[in-house]
Amino acid sequence: MTSDTLPDIQTEADIKALVDSFYDRVNADPLLGPVFNDVAHVNWAAHLPRMYDFWSGLLLHTNRYQGQPFAKHIPLPIGSGHFQQWLHLFCRTVDALFAGAVAQEAKLRAGNIAHVFETRMRTVNNPLSIL
């Protein structure tokens, strides 16, 4: 399919397809997969539904997600390269499945999340970096 024939993100099924496809890429990625599976020991059966709620809230305004995602990232050995790869995989996933205003919003939101998390991680790991 070309971007002219791809649908936009409109439904819960679209959110599920996006999240599932994205995390398939994450799991296969040599940089991110080990962080999720070997370091964080993500329970995928619990994590994926939370991510459906998270992205549904951001893109479909469902307000089901409850949580503070940043705190779980603090103990992880991640840096700028991890966030860049996460964003790259997310945008590739969106572009492979969807096109339209909500798809663009998804990529913008992901970029903002990556930037904020990377900046906050740098501050947490090196508090003097804000001086």
Annotated binding residues for heme, written as ranges, equal 47
Annotated binding residues, written as ranges, equal 47
Packing angle between helix 101-125 and helix 44-60, nearest 10 degrees?
A: 120
Note the helical H segments in the chain.
12-28, 32-34, 44-60, 80-97, 101-125
